[in-house]
Structure 1
Amino acid sequence: MQESQFEKMKNGKGFIAALDQSGGSTPKALAAYGVKEDTYQNEDEMFALVHEMRTRIITSPAFDSSYILGAILFEQTMDSKIEGQYTADYLAEKKGIVPFLKVDKGLADQSNGVQLMKPIFDLDETLKRANERNIFGTKMRSVIHEANPEGIKAVVDQQFEIGKQIIAAGLVPIIEPEVDIHNPEKKKSEDILKAEILSQLNQLSDDQSVMLKLTIPTVANTYKELIQHSRVLRVVALSGGYSREEANQKLKENNGLIASFSRALSQDLNVKQTDEEFNAALKEAVDSTYDASVNK
């Protein structure tokens, strides 16, 4: 399975769906879906509701491996079931979609113009469980707010240090140093980021591969060298707060860059929609995101 999934991620046509809203972002995701905060009384009820939302997305006929290569899951989703199967098994076996797991614990406070990841104290245990749950790869996010070379280097160093631990556990890390779209020096930040990533990639051995999840760059094809690098399995783009229409338009300008959208993918979905309405809205999102990812 791992070998076929590796091949699919490297050469397949499509995009990655990000279904990994965590504790902090789940209330916003539910609210956007039409589920108000007074609907649930505690965290368990909240996570049960968001799993219902994710289940509805994943089981929809619009959630199709002809368009979607992979899906990023939240930890609780990995341990939850869909139609009697653990979510990753359902994705892989029923849908033919490669499962990933968000492993970071959120962001530290801003320092040197960036937000590093909080310490991941239980990473070894999480990776062990991820292997037991047949997860293919992981994802972890940092954020760059300013063009601070010291801060950006710290972000990339941390990402690759943990990434190597993930590789050693037999999984493929998605390294996500997001450049905030409101960063006043976004282009300069992207240039510094690219140089730091290239430096780290060039230090990887032949048996080490990573994926990158990056903000769509200010200048189209800025990340061409990263996309073509022998140690990079795939480069995917986050929507970063852009609407789906704007994100897709920007994505089309970047050859070889494919989508990994969260909010932009689910922005038109609502809990009150009939199945027919829900599936039609999701199909429109999937089709347009696929088109932006492959037709260029």
Structure 2
Amino acid sequence: MTPSYGPGSPWSDLERPPLNAASLRRALLRPGGRWTSLDIVPATGSTNSDLAARAATLPEGAILLAEEQTAGRGRLDRTWSAPARSGLFFSVLLKPDVPVARLAWLPLLTGVAAATGLTRAAGVDMALKWPNDLMVKVEGEAGKEERKAGGILAERAGDDGIVVGLGLNVTLRKEELPVPTAGSLLLANAISTDRDTLLRAVLRSLEQWYGRWTAAGGDPAACGLAEAYTAGCATLGRTVRAELPGDRTLTGEAVAIDGDGRLVVAPPGGEREAVGAGDVVHLRPVD
């Protein structure tokens, strides 16, 4: 069958081919594995919202991908949008049997898994900005600049489900960036921007980390998650400004990640405070 190349065709931009659903299912849906189904839609508002709406009827391990996401959501209700087939936009349904107090580690775990998989598959050094941004280095006017290439959003779905969504800029060109502080794997000189390869790497890494974490009852120290996140977190050691609920701000050095996954900030001359919600801005690079 000859593919169509007209407007709206998935083959209209040959530098951005569609995801191969059949190949991905063969690679990821294995007997006894974590992933149980994989669906790809041409476009949707939000894969998180769509998967959450179906969570009650699906087993753990369902994956939903969109070639284009028109109303993707990040933390603090920020939007996430990009040209069709220029990135990875997907959500997974997980039902972790761990204490509720440890669920805050799930988005951090996803960040570690994504950074690990992408570093291996794309050949790009990925860093984590607390709590759930994926950062890359992009050549800018003043040399290498730290840019956000991806983000993670975890949301409750039903009584026992959590939908974890990930948006990643893969082949966005400079003129396509939504804001100057954004980046992409292409702009970070990735050795591969094949989305099938990158998706397999991320989901296999997530399967491994999630399995270790749940087997340890959600204990981040016992499964090595706390150590891995600390090692890959670009926020630690930086002077940061935390914009907190209630229009309060906290400025100081990010000194640690505590046992609940919160960022510990030490203000000059003040007591350390653990930040569990809010926006964190990096004010200076690590020396």
TM (norm. structure 1) is 0.24
Which has the larger strand fraction? 2
TM (norm. structure 2) is 0.24
Which has the larger helix fraction? 1
